[in-house]
Amino acid sequence: MAKVSELYQSADWKSEKHVPVIECPDEVKTNEIFHVTVTLGKEVAHPNTTEHHIRWIQVFFHGQGDKFPYQVGNFEFTAHGEAVDGPNKGPVYTNHSVTASLKILKGGTLYATSLCNIHGLWQNAKEIRVK
């Protein structure tokens, strides 16, 4: 049986539309609020249709020296153009992009994970320093 960690895929987000892109400062001040934005399909657009879409993005922070990461947020996308009239005829589509505000007390790593309904689980990470 595979471990959950073995199910996650990763690649260069500049050429793979499923990889979460983490945008935030490389360095922040301790205990000061900053913004983290996670998107998919930044360079290569990801479809957002009833048949092919991103279901969720999760963000975690793993502080230097900490045993476990902390979940920052879980963001679900539930409108993909479904309608009584059929696929892609609905009045609303959620966009697979999220922004969270947070503060940290020490440096560490931000992790973003996502789920594509067709192509599975994806992950990316970004180091962040505290000054």
Catalytic machinery residues: 16-18, 46, 52, 116, 119
Residue 26, CA distances (Å) to 61, 82, 117 in order: 14, 39, 31
Is the Cβ–Cβ distance between 41 and 48 less than 8 Å?
no
CA nearest to 10, candidates 127, 129, 119: 119
